[in-house]
Amino acid sequence: MSIVQHDPTPKGVGLSETAVAQLNSLFAAEARDDLMLRIVVNGGGCSGFTYGFDFDDIVKDDDKTFETDGVKVVVDNASLEFIDGSVLNFVESLGGNHFTLENPNATSSCGCGSSFSVY
């Protein structure tokens, strides 16, 4: 039996170049320079957890803030345990444009890609 130890040092959440460009465009459309992207992990979906994305202008006491090329991402500590080390990407395809989170902690995801598992 092997013991897996959790590294308590947060690696954070990164952004790809396409995600930075898309978020800058979305923030500019809101005409506010104080916005950040908030990422949360919620229980639900067919695999157990889902990602939530929203704009926010408040950093709460239990939040960690990460910045890539001037774009800030905030994640609460509970959610960070599930997505630490992830990279947010923006994908343009025939099926539509959307953000994806490349999560190294996810062990599986559902067929439609909207929920994930870490067990």
Q: Which amino acid is at 43?
A: G
pLDDT of residue 53: 94
CATH 3.30.930.10 for domain 14-117, yes or no, is no
| Residue length of the chain | 119
**Which residue did the predictor score with more confidence, 114 or 9?**
114
**Continuous segment of H or E residues that includes residue 33:** none
pTM to 2 decimals? 0.83
pLDDT score at 113: 61
Q: Are 2 and 74 in contact (CB under 8 A)?
A: no
Per-residue DSSP letter, 5: P
If pLDDT is split at 50, 70 and 90, which confidence band does 9 have?
low
Confidence of residue 107 (pLDDT cuts 50, 70, 90): confident
Residue 116 scores a pLDDT above 90? no
> How far, in Å, CA of 56 to CA of 11, rounded?
21
Dist CA 30 CA 20 (whole Å)? 15
Residue spans per domain, the chain: 14-117
pLDDT tens for residues 22-55?
999 999 999 988 999 999 998 877 768 888 999 9
pLDDT at residue 5 greater than cutoff 70? no
More confident residue, 119 or 57: 57
pLDDT in tens, 61-77: 999 999 999 999 999 99
Average pLDDT score, the chain: 86
